[in-house]
Structure 1
Amino acid sequence: MDFFNVVKAVLISSVFQFIGIHMLAWPIPRSFIVLYIGWLGIAAVFPRMMIRILRGGRRIPLQTIGKQAIPVMLIGAGEAGSIILQEFKNSKFVEKEIVCVIDDDPKKWGTFIHGVPVVGGRRKITQSVVRFGIQEIVLAIPTLKPHERKNIINICQQTGCKMSTLPGIYQLINCDVKVSMLRDVQIEDLLGREAVRTDLESIMSYVKDQKVMVTGGGGSIGSELCRQIADDQPKQLIIIDNYENAAYELQMELGRKHPELDVIVLIVSVQNRRKIREIFEQYKPDLVFHAAAHKHVPLMEYSPCEAIKNNVFGTMNVASEANRSGVKRMVLISTDKAVRPTNIMGASKRICEMVIQTYNQRSKTEYVAVRFGNVLGSNGSVVPLFKQQIREGGPVTVTHPDIIRYFMTIPEAVSLVLQAGAYAQGGEIFILDMGEPVKILDLAENMIRLSGLVPGEDIEIKFTGLRPGEKLYEELLIDDDNKKETANKRIFIGQPIKIDEAEFDEKMKELEKATFSEDENIRQVVKKLVPEYTIQQINN
C-alpha cells in the first residue's frame, strides 16, 4: 500500500513538473522527465526502505507466501490507533492486516492513516465489515468513557467479529502501546460505568505498619484483599485459609511481588477455635478482615448445618479472639443475600452481621461489616461457568430469562472494602453501591458474542429453572430512606437494627445446639434469629 502511494505521488509530481516547464517554455532535453521520475522515485523510496531495515525489516505480505492475511478493522484514528496500525505494518509476526479505520470525528473521514482509509464513524461499522470482509475488530481508543465503550462494543458484537482492545490510557501516556498489549474484550468492558475510585491515602494510613490478618485469604475476595493490603506496606500479613493450594499460590505470588513483606500463611479452619486462639495470641494482629465463609447458595441449602458452623460460629470464633487479644478493628465481608434472605447462606451471613454488631456493643474493638453483591470472575460465579460452557461448545445454562444481579469487579469491591474499613467507627454495616443491575441472559449472550459466536445458533442457551434458595431479583442494596452517606459516593451506611444482647445470646445457644447436633429443624431455629428469612422447601 505504501509503495503504491509513493508511485502515485511521484507520478502526480512529475505531471505538474512537466506542465509547469511546458507553460514556461523552458528548453529541456527529452530525457529530463524520465530521469526526474526515476530519481524522485528513488529519493522517495530509499529513505523509507532504510528506516524499515533499521527497525528490523517489514514482514513479507502473507499473500506472497500463499497465506491470506486476516482483514482487521481499527476503531480509533488517534495516536493510539496510529501506533497500533504502524505496529501491524512493521511486525514480522502479525498475520493480520488493518484494511479500514473507523473514527467518529467527521474531519478524519476520507483521510488516510499510513495508507489505510478512514471510512466513517461508528454507524459505518456494520456496513464496512461486509464491504471489507472484516474478521476482527481492534478498539484502540484508551480515553473512551465506559458508556461509550459499551455502546461501540454492542455495535461490534452484532457483526460476529472477534474483538480486541487496548488496556487503558496509562499505556498511551507512557508511550507503551504495542500490538502485544491488545487483549480480548472482556465482560468488565460491558458494565458501562466508570471504575470505582477510592481514596488510597486513607486506606494506606490505617494499614501501613500494621499487623493485618485476612481469613479466607486464598479465596477470590480474600486473595485480592491480600494483594491490595500488601501494596499498602503493612508490618506483617497473616493469611488464614483451609485450602492449601490456593494459599500456596498466593504465598508464591506475594513472595515474587513483595519479597520484603513479612507474610505468614497458616492452613487452619476458622471453626477450630483452639487453633484460632493460638494464632491470635502468637501474632497479635492489629486489623482483621474476615472473608472466610461458605458462599455457594445451592450447596449450602443441602448442607445447612455446615453453613452455620463455618459462617456463623467461625465468625464468632474470630470475633471473640479479636476482642480477647485487643484487635483495633475487625471487618466482616458480608453479602446482599443477607437482606431478607431466601436461603440458608444469606441467613447465616445476616447472623454474622448481628454477631459483629453485638460484639461491637461489648468490646473496645471496632467491629464493622461490608455488604455487597456479586463480583465478576469470583470462584464459582456465573462468568467463569459461562466461559467454560462456551469453550465446550455449550449449552450455556441460565436459570431464568428474567433473573438479574448486581455486579462489580473483584478489585473494585475489595478497594471499597478497604475504604469502608478506613471509615469505620464501630457497629456500622457498610453497603457498596453496585451500580445498575445486569440481566443474566444479556450477560450470557454478550459473552457468546465476545467469543465470536452467535447466541442460539453456534451456542445454545438453556434455561434450567431457579436453584434452591435462589432469588429472581436481587434486593436493592440501598434504601433511600434508611441510609447514611460517606465521603465516597459508592459507600453507604445502613442503619443498624438494635439488638437485645441477652435475647440474642439465648437464641445463639439454641442455634449452636441445633447446629452441632445436626438438627433437621435448623432452619426454624435460624428463623428465630432472622425473622425476615423465608424458608424454602428443599427436595433431597
Structure 2
Amino acid sequence: MLGKVPQKYKQSLSWRTAAATLHDIAAAVLAWVTAYWLRFNFDIPVQYATSMTRTLFWVVGIQTIVFLAFGLYRGIWRFASIPDLRRIGLAAATSALAAPTVLFMLDRMEDVPRSVLVLDPILLLLIMGGSRFFYRAWKDGHLFSLQQLGATPVIILGAGAAAAALLRDLASDSRWRVVGLLDDDPAKAGLRLQGVTVLGPLAELSRHAKRLAVENAIVAMPSRTVGERRRAMEIAVEAGVSALTVPSMADVLSGKTAVSQIRNVELEDLLGRDQVQLDDAGLRGLLTGRVVMVTGAGGSIGSELCRQIAAFSPAKLVFYEASEFALYSIEQEFVQHFPRLAIVAVAGDVKDAATLEQAFSIHRPKVIFHAAAYKHVPLMEADNAWAAVRNNVFGTACVARAAIRHEVERFVLISTDKAVNPTNVMGASKRLAELACRALQEQSPLTCFVSVRFGNVLGSSGSVIPKFREQIEKGGPVTVTHPDIVRYFMLIPEAAQLVLQAGLMGKGGEIFVLDMGEPVKIADLARDMIRLSGFSEDEICIEFTGLRPGEKLFEELLADSETTLPTLNPKLRIACANETHEAEWLATLDTWLAVPVKPADEVKQELKQWVPEYMVSTRPAIL
C-alpha cells in the first residue's frame, strides 16, 4: 500500500509511524516499571528489582509484536476514537495473556508478583489510550487554546447530531467561539453538549444574544423539516443577528461538504420544501441503461434534469441545445463530474427538423424530456410574440413528431402554470403546446406523451431572485411590479425530481400539476432578501413599478374547467381536461405555424382562436 502513496507523504508517514512505535515502547516500559512500584509502594526490594529488569526485555518485546499485529500504527492520532481505544484494549488483553505464558516457560515466573501481571495491562491501556486522546483533545481545541480568546462568539440553534458534529469542528476553528445552544426540546434545557450549555428554546435567542453580545447564530438543523429550519432562520433575523446555516445532511454524508462549512442563509433556505420521495426502482427501470435526450439541456431546468438523470446511469445522455455557450457549459460540467457517463452534445434548434432527424437516427433515444422554450413573459409579449409561438409550439411539434417516427417510448413536455387561463403570449403558447401533445397522443400508440406544469423555480434564468440580488448589491431600490402580486416558487432540484416522477407515472396524454405549496407575495420576498442581506427597508427601499404586459396578479395551476385526480405521489396531481382533437386540427395548426413571420397583434388575435381561454393583454409592453 505504501508504494501507492505519493513520495512527498512517505517520509511523513514513516516518521509518524516510528514516533508512535517509540511512544508505545516507552509506554510498555513505563507500565511494567510502574506496576512494580505500585506493588511495593514505590520501594522495590533488590530481588524484585533484578527480576523487573530481567523480564522487561521479554515483556516489552512481546507487547511490541502484539501492537504491530493489531495495527495500532495504521491509525491517525489526530482522529483517535472509540475503535482505536478498542484495539488498544484488545492488544493489552492479548499481551496480558502472552507475556505471562512466555515468562512461565522461561523460569516459571518465580520472581514476578502476580499483582504486577494484573496491573501492567491496566496501566498500559491508560497510558497508550490516554496519550492518544489527550493529543486529539489538544488538536481539536478542547484544551485551553489562545486562538479561542479572539474568536467571534456565536450561538448554535439546534442541539442534535449536527450541532454535536459542528461543535467538534468549531473547537479548533479560530473564527468562532460557541457560547450557547438553543433547542425547543424542553428535556435538553440546561444540559451540556461537549461542554456547551443548552440555554433554552429558540424563541429566547434575542435575550441571550443581547446578554452574551452575540451577533451571529448558526442554524444546525439539517435533518429537521423545512418549516422548522425556516422558523429558526426567521427567529434569527427578527432577533437582529446574522443568520448562518450548515450544509444538508445529504451533502455531508455524500462527502460533498463538511458540517463546518458554514454559509449565509439564502432565500432558498426560507422557500425550500421537504425532500421529494422518488420511486427509485421505477426510475431505474425508465432511465438506467437507456438513451435519454434532454432538449434545452443548457437551461436551468434542462441542466438540472440532466444531473438528476445522470444519477440513474443511463446508457447515453444526449444534450440538445441551441445556445453554444450553454451547451459547452453543461458538457464541461459532465466531463468533470460524470466522467464515466456517455454524453453527446448536439447543437441544434428544436425547430430544425433536419438536425432533429439526424440526432434521433444516430442516437436512438428512448426517453425525451423537452425543456427547450422561450419563457420570459415581457420579452415574448410584443416584438417576439411569433418567435415564442414558433419555438414553444412548432418546436415542440417537431421534437414530438421525431419521437413518434423513431418510436421513442416516453416524451415529457415541461409546461408552466402560465398556461392556465393565459394572459400572455408565452403562457398561451405553452398551453397550445400541451394541446398539440394531446392531439399527437391520439395518433401515436407507441409514444407516451406527458405534460408537467409548475410555477417559478428559484434561480432559473429570468427569475426575480437574481434581479433582486443585483439591485440589493447596487444599493437599491428593489423593484416589484405590484404590492399584491403573488407567485408559486419551487427549488430547481425539486422541480426536476418531480418531472422525472411524472414522466414515470404517465400513461399517455396526462397533464401533471406539481404541488407548488403556498403562494408567496413578491413584496414579502423582496423584504426577506433585504433583511437576509443585512439591510433594513430604510436603507434599501422597495419601489412598485406596475404590472408588466401579460402579467397576472396571481398564477393558477388549473383552468376553471379542469379538475384534478390524486396520484401515489402527494406532490403530483393529474389535471383532467376534456378536449380532443382530430387529425385535421393538427394539419391546420401546422399550416398556421409554417408562416415564417407575423406581426404581434395578428399573432395574439389568432392565438386566441387556438386557445379560447387566452385573454389578450391590453397593457403596453415595458421591457
Shorter-chain TM-score range: 0.7 to 0.9
1:316 to 381, 397, 408: 397
1:379 aligns with 2:438: no
**Pair 224,500 (structure 1): closer, same or farther in 2 beyond 3 Å:** same
Paired residue secondary structure (1:493): strand
Paired residue secondary structure (1:524): helix
Q: Tell me the distance in 2 between the aligned counterparts of 1:406 and 1:462.
A: 21
2:499 to 413, 417, 420: 417
Paired residue secondary structure (1:390): helix
Q: One-letter code of the match for 2:497?
A: S
Paired residue secondary structure (1:180): coil
**Pair 59,316 (structure 1): closer, same or farther in 2 beyond 3 Å:** farther
1:428 to 492, 510, 518: 510
1:143 aligns with 2:226: no
**Match in the other structure for 2:414:** 333
1:240 Cα offset (Å): 0.6
**Match in the other structure for 2:361:** 281
Q: Tell me the distance in 1 between the aligned counterparts of 2:465 and 2:213.
A: 31
1:367 Cα offset (Å): 1.4
Paired residue secondary structure (1:181): coil
Matches within 5 A, 1:291-302: 291-302=371-382
Q: Tell me the distance in 2 between the aligned counterparts of 1:262 and 1:155.
A: 47
Query: For residues 282-330 of structure 1, what are the alpha-carbon distances to aligned partners after superposition, in whole Å with 9 as ceiling and x for unaligned?
Result: 2221111111000000100021011011111111111111112221121
**Match in the other structure for 1:248:** 328
Q: Tell me the distance in 1 between the aligned counterparts of 2:184 and 2:143.
A: 30
**Match in the other structure for 1:121:** 201
1:337 Cα offset (Å): 0.6
1:57 Cα offset (Å): 9.1
1:473 Cα offset (Å): 0.9
Matches within 5 A, 1:90-101: 90-91=172-173, 94-101=174-181
Paired residue secondary structure (2:378): helix
1:168 to 241, 244, 248: 248
Are 1:356 and 1:367, in contact at CA under 8 Å, matched by a contact in 2? yes
Paired residue secondary structure (2:555): coil
Q: One-letter code of the match for 2:164?
A: S
Paired residue secondary structure (2:260): helix
Are 1:83 and 1:178, in contact at CA under 8 Å, matched by a contact in 2? no
Q: One-letter code of the match for 1:267?
A: A
Paired residue secondary structure (1:212): strand
Matches within 5 A, 1:340-359: 340-359=421-440
1:437 aligns with 2:519: yes
Are 1:504 and 1:529, in contact at CA under 8 Å, matched by a contact in 2? no
1:188 Cα offset (Å): 2.8
Q: Tell me the distance in 2 between the aligned counterparts of 1:74 and 1:516.
A: 61
**Match in the other structure for 1:157:** 237
Are 2:361 and 2:406, in contact at CA under 8 Å, matched by a contact in 1? yes
Q: Which has the higher contact order (CA 8 A, sep 6+)?
A: 1
**Match in the other structure for 1:213:** 293
Q: Tell me the distance in 2 between the aligned counterparts of 1:359 and 1:181.
A: 50
**Match in the other structure for 1:103:** 183
Q: Tell me the distance in 2 between the aligned counterparts of 1:417 and 1:400.
A: 31
Q: One-letter code of the match for 1:216?
A: G
**Match in the other structure for 1:453:** 535
Q: One-letter code of the match for 1:133?
A: A
Paired residue secondary structure (2:155): strand
Are 2:252 and 2:259, in contact at CA under 8 Å, matched by a contact in 1? no
**Match in the other structure for 1:462:** 543
Query: For residues 408-456 of structure 1, what are the alpha-carbon distances to aligned partners after superposition, in whole Å with 9 as ceiling and x for unaligned?
Result: 11111111111111112211111111111111122221222222222x1
Residues 478-487 or 462-471, more deviating: 478-487
Q: Tell me the distance in 2 between the aligned counterparts of 1:524 and 1:98.
A: 65
1:185 aligns with 2:250: no
**Pair 426,255 (structure 1): closer, same or farther in 2 beyond 3 Å:** same
Q: Tell me the distance in 2 between the aligned counterparts of 1:485 and 1:198.
A: 16
Are 1:160 and 1:452, in contact at CA under 8 Å, matched by a contact in 2? no
Q: One-letter code of the match for 1:191?
A: L
**Pair 369,342 (structure 1): closer, same or farther in 2 beyond 3 Å:** same
**Pair 329,173 (structure 1): closer, same or farther in 2 beyond 3 Å:** closer
Query: For residues 144-174 of structure 1, what are the alpha-carbon distances to aligned partners after superposition, in whole Å with 9 as ceiling and x for unaligned?
Result: 2222222222111112322122223447778
Are 1:270 and 1:315, in contact at CA under 8 Å, matched by a contact in 2? yes
Are 1:142 and 1:172, in contact at CA under 8 Å, matched by a contact in 2? no
Point out the structure with max Rg over C-alpha.
2
Q: Tell me the distance in 1 between the aligned counterparts of 2:395 and 2:255.
A: 50
Q: Tell me the distance in 2 between the aligned counterparts of 1:275 and 1:382.
A: 34
Are 1:334 and 1:371, in contact at CA under 8 Å, matched by a contact in 2? yes
Are 2:252 and 2:258, in contact at CA under 8 Å, matched by a contact in 1? no
Paired residue secondary structure (1:255): helix
Residues 270-279 or 235-244, more deviating: 270-279
Are 1:353 and 1:369, in contact at CA under 8 Å, matched by a contact in 2? yes
**Pair 54,162 (structure 1): closer, same or farther in 2 beyond 3 Å:** closer
Q: One-letter code of the match for 1:444?
A: A
2:481 to 379, 387, 399: 399
Are 1:331 and 1:367, in contact at CA under 8 Å, matched by a contact in 2? yes
Query: For residues 112-142 of structure 1, what are the alpha-carbon distances to aligned partners after superposition, in whole Å with 9 as ceiling and x for unaligned?
Result: 4444443221221111122222111111123
Unaligned runs of 5+ in 2: 1-129
Paired residue secondary structure (1:248): helix
The two structures, once aligned, show a CA RMSD in angstroms of 2.7
Query: For residues 384-431 of structure 1, what are the alpha-carbon distances to aligned partners after superposition, in whole Å with 9 as ceiling and x for unaligned?
Result: 222222222222221111111111111111111111111122111111
2:582 to 483, 501, 507: 501
**Match in the other structure for 2:280:** 200
Are 1:328 and 1:366, in contact at CA under 8 Å, matched by a contact in 2? yes
**Pair 148,490 (structure 1): closer, same or farther in 2 beyond 3 Å:** same
Q: One-letter code of the match for 1:400?
A: H
1:200 Cα offset (Å): 1.6
Paired residue secondary structure (1:397): strand
Are 1:77 and 1:101, in contact at CA under 8 Å, matched by a contact in 2? yes
Residues 213-222 or 190-199, more deviating: 190-199
Are 1:406 and 1:436, in contact at CA under 8 Å, matched by a contact in 2? yes
Q: Tell me the distance in 1 between the aligned counterparts of 2:380 and 2:448.
A: 30
Residues 215-224 or 367-376, more deviating: 367-376
Query: For residues 52-110 of structure 1, what are the alpha-carbon distances to aligned partners after superposition, in whole Å with 9 as ceiling and x for unaligned?
Result: 4455897954686xxx532211112333323323332322xx32222222122334434
Query: For residues 178-212 of structure 1, what are the alpha-carbon distances to aligned partners after superposition, in whole Å with 9 as ceiling and x for unaligned?
Result: 55332322323223742222212111111111111
**Pair 98,340 (structure 1): closer, same or farther in 2 beyond 3 Å:** same
1:467 Cα offset (Å): 1.2
Are 1:244 and 1:267, in contact at CA under 8 Å, matched by a contact in 2? yes
**Match in the other structure for 1:487:** 568
How much identity, in percent, do the aligned residues show? 43
Residues 251-260 or 507-516, more deviating: 507-516
Residues 497-506 or 96-105, more deviating: 497-506
**Match in the other structure for 1:16:** none
Residues 166-175 or 226-235, more deviating: 166-175
- State how many pairs are aligned: 490
1:235 aligns with 2:304: no
